Structures are given as structure tokens and as C-alpha cells.
């Protein structure tokens, strides 16, 4: 093996590891900047010359209404009677979502999903305790 081939192999491994590390840091930082929310809904997957329907749960990267967010989820597929892990993107409305995702249940497939969003955490806290939550970034820049 020549020196150039060894260096090329080393750089290839280094670039893949660096790319994976950067992607992991970006994904890990997303929840720090946003309030994740949960959704429950229906999904349809298309792949391997078959169509399957399912019910599932999604965790969205933010709870901001009328926004586009990342999602991860788990579906139970009714026709194949299997579990399907998903990663994708969705658009959140007031109480609903519509999403596109890549799923894996032994084979990779594409799917669409739609469903309902769980109430925001602040609303659940306020109803359970009767208190209004204090959110630190709301008080920034205000003088007393």
C-alpha cells in the first residue's frame, strides 16, 4: 500500500468520524434551545413494493405552533404487525401535525404521518398547580 493510499484512507476515516461527531452535537443541542412536545397519530409507509398503515407516537424538537420541526417516533404497523422507528420532519399547527419521515422496520421506507399534539408543558403545569410557571427568557430585558 502506498503512502498516498494510507493517507487517503486515514482522511476518509477522520472525515466520517468528524462528521458524525458534529451531527451528534447539533442534534444534542436542539433540545436545549427548544421545548420538545409529543404527538399521537396515524402513519402510512411506502416501501419494498408494499403499503402499510400504523399508529404511533412522535417527539418533536419544538412546541412552537405554526412551525417546521424535526421528529423521532415509533409506530406500530397494523398490516405487518411490526414496530417501525422513524426520523423525519413535521409541520405543527395549533393542535395537529403533518409529517414526512424515514422509517425502519427491517427495511427502510418512507412515510407520511398526521395526528394530534399533547398540550404544552406550561399549560399542564398551570392546570395541575393553579400557578403560572416562571419562564426565565420572558423576563429578559424588562425593568422592574
The residue among 33 and 64 whose pLDDT is bigger is: 64
The residue among 87 and 9 whose pLDDT is bigger is: 87
For residue 52, with 0-12 CB atoms within 10 Å meaning exposed, 13-18 middle and 19 or more buried, which class applies?
buried
The residue among 137 and 42 whose pLDDT is bigger is: 42
Indicate if 62 and 99 belong to the same structural domain.
Answer: yes
Question: In this structure, are residues 115 and 54 in contact, taking their beta carbons and an 8 Å threshold?
Answer: no
Q: Which domain holds residue 13?
A: 1-33
Indicate if 17 and 61 belong to the same structural domain.
Answer: no
Q: For residue range 80-133, what is the model confidence (pLDDT) as tens digits?
A: 999 999 999 999 988 899 999 999 988 899 999 999 998 665 666 566 666 665
Q: Which pLDDT value is given to residue 139?
A: 52
Indicate if 28 and 91 belong to the same structural domain.
Answer: no
Q: Which pLDDT value is given to residue 17?
A: 54
Domains: count for the chain = 2
Q: For residue range 27-55, what is the model confidence (pLDDT) as tens digits?
A: 554 544 567 889 999 999 998 888 999 99
Q: Which pLDDT value is given to residue 133?
A: 59
Indicate if 88 and 111 belong to the same structural domain.
Answer: yes
The residue among 3 and 144 whose pLDDT is bigger is: 3
Q: Which pLDDT value is given to residue 126?
A: 65
Domain assignment present for 98:
yes
The residue among 13 and 96 whose pLDDT is bigger is: 96
Of residues 27, 96, 86, 28, the one with CA closest to residue 58: 86
Give the CA distances from residue 69 to residues 32, 37, 66, 105, 140, in Å, rounded to whole numbers and listed in that order.
Answer: 14, 10, 10, 23, 25
Indicate if 66 and 111 belong to the same structural domain.
Answer: yes
Amino acid at each position: 500500500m502506498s503512502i498516498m493510499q494510507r493517507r487517503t484512507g486515514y482522511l476518509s476515516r477522520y472525515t466520517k468520524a468528524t462528521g458524525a461527531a458534529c451531527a451528534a452535537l447539533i442534534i444534542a443541542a436542539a433540545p436545549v434551545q427548544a421545548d420538545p412536545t409529543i404527538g399521537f397519530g396515524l402513519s402510512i409507509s411506502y416501501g419494498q413494493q408494499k403499503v402499510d398503515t400504523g399508529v404511533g407516537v412522535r417527539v418533536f424538537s419544538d412546541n412552537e405552533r405554526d412551525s417546521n420541526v424535526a421528529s423521532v417516533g415509533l409506530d406500530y404497523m397494523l398490516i405487518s404487525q411490526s414496530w417501525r422507528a422513524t426520523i423525519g420532519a413535521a409541520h405543527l399547527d395549533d393542535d395537529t401535525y403533518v409529517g414526512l419521515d424515514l422509517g425502519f422496520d427491517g427495511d427502510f421506507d418512507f412515510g407520511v404521518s398526521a395526528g394530534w399534539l399533547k398540550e404544552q408543558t406550561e399549560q399542564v403545569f398551570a392546570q395541575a398547580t393553579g400557578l403560572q410557571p416562571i419562564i426565565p427568557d420572558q423576563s429578559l430585558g424588562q425593568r422592574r
